[in-house]
Structure 1
Amino acid sequence: MHSQPTTPRRQFLADVGMGFTGVALSAMFHRDGVVRASEHGTWSPPTGVPHFAPKAKSVIWLFMIGGTSHMESFDPKPELTKYAGKEIGDTPHKEVLEAKFLEDNLRIVVPDDANGHIRHKLYPLQVGFKKRGEAGIEVSDWWPHLGDCVDDMAIVRSMWTTDNNHGAQYQFHTGRHSLEGEFPTIGSWAHYGLGSLNDNLPQFVVMGQPIADCCGGVRGHGASYLGPAHNGVKLNVDPKNPLPFAAPGKDVYHEEQRGQFELLNQLNRTAAVEYPEDQAAAARIKSYELAYRMQSAVPDIVRFSEETEETQQLYGLDEKETKDFGEQCLAATRMVERGVRFVQIFHGSNGGAGAWDAHSNLKAGHSKLCKQTDKPIAGLIKDLKRRGLLDETLIVWATEFGRTPGTQNSDGRDHHPFGFSVWMAGGGIKGGITHGATDALGFHAIEDRHYVTDVHATVLHQLGLDPRRLVVPGRQRLDIDFGHPIEGIIA
């Protein structure tokens, strides 16, 4: 009678590499140097070692859902006020109506009103602006606290995308149109390439209410073909109930639960040896192990009482308008301090296209939303800087597209994919600069134009990753998917 073959530890760990969060064991594989040949031959997944020296360890990704107006934020256009009420064709800037740009064999042509998203009658700026910081960068008055941080920021004023509806939210996170299928998001690529820095916490965390199903839904923080091990893990920032989906019942003692986990893990590991291809067993092991460790680690993250009153005020935790988003930003700081790799924070979800979608009542809506986010984000930059973490933490502020220079519904602006703004700070990014430009009306990106995957390429570059070396065999990627690092903002 033959004895049951034993399973080497490394092989077993590699076999249970997929699961519901996919952070704990996959990180162990990376650090143990586990390399497995695939069915395609000699290909092996990333080892967790950067391709070249990184300038950042972690990323905090701030996404404003709905489409923030670039003109009323980080790319003011006084010509809009000067020619307010006039048709674009009746101004010295009528050439924008005939503008055509060719990039990567993709021609962007200004559509007519029948296709939406152009509005010919110019709408004036709804807020003042002034030069901020030593760099003297013009920022709108709705961002006074961020204006104080402009010397740490690189504002990219020349973004463009192709989806003129809110599928652009999914496109911004994956680089591909939602109608083309399902693709990994930028957070998933970072996790896939580098793995974990802390086995007790998810390495790709999602906070705030993610984008709605109509705009990508959970795919906006999903890993697609990279596997569920690299999906973002949704966490609620609630100090009173930080881990509702994994916390034990009130009548369950810690020792009792630990015994339950040990027994379940023992049974599942036995099943995994007997049935090494059973991914369900692998998922159970990972979910139990991570969930158990998170019960201690996550409550520690949101224990804001450990922070000084001054720090809490810095994020706006003492003000009703800023408390919720401020707590998420402070939690993000405490996460990267403990080794979380990628923190994705959504703002403005309303069950639909997003609160920043200012088709009407732009002034009231944007002023309210800026109030909610301005102080917390500024607090994030300032606090990371004084903790010595800004140099190794890359902050990205983004939105799916901008708003039209023309008016809609008399007091709003429509979707505008032809030119808009994002900014980055920390993580080896230059501070106090603007990069790229739109025309005088904010219509087209005309200088140093960047498709959304250039943001992805910049993030991965700062993390020490070459996206072309992360390609999965059998998964064809378009050249534009890889993007190009925005060299002009890299220190």
Structure 2
Amino acid sequence: MQSDLTNMQPPCGQIQRRTFLSDLGYGATGMALSMLLNREGSGQAASTSSGAATQGPHFTPRAKSVIWIFLSGGYSQMETFDPKPELNKYGGKTYADTVYPDPFQDPRYQERARSVVQVKREHDKIMPMQVGFRKQGESGIEITDWWPHLATCVDDISFVRSMYTTDNDHAAEFQIHHGRHKLDQKQPVIGSWLSYGLGSLNQNLPEYVFLGSYTDTRVKENFSPDYLGPKYMGVEFSLDPNNPLPFGARPQTVLEKEQANQYALINELNRISSVEYPHDEKLRARINSYELAFRMQRSVPEALNLDTETKETQRLYGIDENETSSYGKRLLAARRLAERGVRFTQVYLSGYGEWDSHQKLKENHTRSCKRVDKPVAGLLKDLKRRGMLDDTVVVFCTEFGRTPAVETRGSTKMPSGRDHHPHGFTIWFAGAGVKRGYVHGATDELGFHAVESPHYVTDIHATLYHLLGLDPTRLDIPGRKRLEIDRGKPILDILS
């Protein structure tokens, strides 16, 4: 019978090697850095035969990196990218007053409305569009007037106007990232899957980075690796120039050479013990974490040093304007990370729930659009002029749309907003392998149901797998086989 070495107590007066190693790593270097330790920690998938040893594209990729822009709260499709003039024609009337079928009687209504929060959302009084729209670019794609800068980029974008999801509450935010309803078993998010499947392009930076600020801790579900293990978690970077790597800075009292010597000692101890513990994934992963952390202390500040960019580039992103500065910095940092080989940069561009305009939609969307319009357009223009749209994919999305009817719940006497709407909304792609100046799919005349080429949210994931050369069926973990809907199907019509 084998003894359990992990439970053996050390001889009197001595300490276990693992305790010594941990104390040395934490005490001597000051690197309590849970994010980086987690990043290289062991997960259930880390010890499987389908892990890092098989990383890499399964077929020739069209792209090598992704910038995923997420706007939390649910922007209105008809006030952004899917104008519906029939709303103006029937504004103030009910669905029964129109020439169109009652959308609540459509079978798709029940198919695409699965409640976590049991709230009746059957609003009936149609709300006119709150903004004008016009055709833009050589492609003549219609876009609303709240996007004056992005309107100049429509010829580089593929709009998908026929997305739907199945959660009518804000858990849809997490659903669009991992593809499962809140009532179902969780899955790793798309960034973790791509990191798991492809591996690193730059050994000094993570494969998967999260940029953005939030106060609601549930946002961490958006970059959770779940059963893939913490090695594939998104690593949070800060854009504070004095502290770009939270908890990871070398203490001022420790010289760089001194720290390097400490890591060398740790590595030597690891080699000595590898014979005794050849299958200790946790130990090996933690050592790798320290090594990565040491390299990142140099590479991360350089990658996030936006001051090295020209004033013209900073103006392009709106960094010189108070209203757009923080948003522009996140997107410029995303470009710099993609430039340096980060596979997946997830930009949480707006605060949690910012676009959730149950009331004062015109006021709220006007403000929010102005905050992100110039930075997003700046990113696309910057990527294009640098030739990075040839190998970088940009995804721009939210968790769901807004109702064609006015929000009437509660005691509001002057309703002025729209409710959650999972049945039809718009997202877009730009960059490597994607058609330019193109519209795919459609909602009905009132913007209610996705009726032409409807796509569940994991079709976004499948499109990225396809562009990056991955077959998702070959990423399955034993005992964790995903359902077909969780893989999705590539939106082939938007691919060039």
Specify if TM > 0.5: yes
Q: Classify the secondary structure of the residue corresponding to 1:405.
A: strand
CA RMSD of aligned residues (A): 2.3
1:339 aligns with 2:341: yes
Cα distance in structure 1, aligned partners of 2:274 and 2:405: 61
Q: Classify the secondary structure of the residue corresponding to 1:243.
A: coil
Cα distance in structure 2, aligned partners of 1:371 and 1:108: 31
Cα distance in structure 2, aligned partners of 1:284 and 1:442: 51
Cα distance in structure 1, aligned partners of 2:201 and 2:346: 17
1:396 aligns with 2:403: no
How many aligned residue pairs are there?
451
| Counterpart selection for 2:79 from 64, 72, 76 | 72
Distance 1:164 1:86, change over 3 A: same
2:140 is matched with 136
2:485 is matched with 480
1:455-470 equivalence runs, <5 A: 455-470=460-475
1:261 is matched with 263
Q: Classify the secondary structure of the residue corresponding to 2:394.
A: strand
Cα distance in structure 1, aligned partners of 2:350 and 2:258: 41
Q: Classify the secondary structure of the residue corresponding to 1:148.
A: helix
Q: Measure how far apart 1:95 and its partner are.
A: 3.4
Contact 2:317–2:374 (CA<8 Å) still a contact in 1? yes
Distance 1:170 1:131, change over 3 A: same
Contact 2:113–2:422 (CA<8 Å) still a contact in 1? no
Q: Classify the secondary structure of the residue corresponding to 1:248.
A: coil
Contact 1:46–1:470 (CA<8 Å) still a contact in 2? no
Cα distance in structure 2, aligned partners of 1:179 and 1:412: 28
Cα distance in structure 1, aligned partners of 2:88 and 2:491: 31
1:446 is matched with 451
1:430 aligns with 2:435: yes
Cα distance in structure 2, aligned partners of 1:424 and 1:478: 25
Q: Measure how far apart 1:79 and its partner are.
A: 1.2
2:236 is matched with 234
1:127 is matched with 131
TM-score by length of 1: 0.87
Cα distance in structure 2, aligned partners of 1:476 and 1:260: 42
Contact 1:36–1:44 (CA<8 Å) still a contact in 2? yes
| Counterpart selection for 1:413 from 418, 421, 426 | 418
Q: Measure how far apart 1:99 and its partner are.
A: 1.5
- The letter of the residue matching 2:120 is G
Contact 1:169–1:211 (CA<8 Å) still a contact in 2? no
1:165 is matched with 169
1:93 is matched with 100
Contact 2:112–2:422 (CA<8 Å) still a contact in 1? no
Cα distance in structure 2, aligned partners of 1:347 and 1:379: 14
2:23 is matched with none
Q: Classify the secondary structure of the residue corresponding to 1:348.
A: coil
Identify which range, 336-345 or 92-101, moves more after superposition: 92-101
Cα distance in structure 2, aligned partners of 1:94 and 1:209: 43
TM-score by length of 2: 0.86
Contact 1:72–1:127 (CA<8 Å) still a contact in 2? yes
2:208 is matched with 204
Cα distance in structure 1, aligned partners of 2:252 and 2:489: 51
Q: Measure how far apart 1:269 and its partner are.
A: 4.1
Q: Measure how far apart 1:478 and its partner are.
A: 0.8
Identify which range, 260-269 or 142-151, moves more after superposition: 260-269
Cα distance in structure 2, aligned partners of 1:129 and 1:239: 39
Q: Measure how far apart 1:372 and its partner are.
A: 1.3
1:305 aligns with 2:323: no
Structure 1 unaligned regions, length at least 5 = 1-17, 27-34
Q: Classify the secondary structure of the residue corresponding to 1:180.
A: coil
Identity over aligned pairs, percent: 52
Cα distance in structure 1, aligned partners of 2:81 and 2:219: 28
Q: Measure how far apart 1:93 and its partner are.
A: 2.1
2:291 is matched with 289
Cα distance in structure 2, aligned partners of 1:173 and 1:286: 27
Cα distance in structure 2, aligned partners of 1:235 and 1:119: 41
1:180 aligns with 2:198: no
1:81 is matched with 88
Q: Measure how far apart 1:267 and its partner are.
A: 2.7
Distance 1:211 1:222, change over 3 A: farther
Contact 1:356–1:365 (CA<8 Å) still a contact in 2? yes
Distance 1:82 1:46, change over 3 A: farther
Cα distance in structure 2, aligned partners of 1:122 and 1:256: 68
Cα distance in structure 2, aligned partners of 1:310 and 1:36: 48
- The letter of the residue matching 1:456 is H
Cα distance in structure 2, aligned partners of 1:44 and 1:197: 17
> Alpha-carbon deviations, 1:333-381, whole Å to 9, x = none?
111111110000112224xxx1111111111111111111111111111
Cα distance in structure 2, aligned partners of 1:443 and 1:334: 38
Contact 2:108–2:449 (CA<8 Å) still a contact in 1? no
Structure 2 unaligned regions, length at least 5 = 1-35
- The letter of the residue matching 1:157 is R
Q: Measure how far apart 1:126 and its partner are.
A: 1.1
1:151 aligns with 2:150: no
Q: Classify the secondary structure of the residue corresponding to 1:54.
A: coil
1:109-128 equivalence runs, <5 A: 115-128=119-132
Q: Classify the secondary structure of the residue corresponding to 1:67.
A: coil
Cα distance in structure 2, aligned partners of 1:89 and 1:486: 34
> Alpha-carbon deviations, 1:87-108, whole Å to 9, x = none?
1111112432322239xxx834
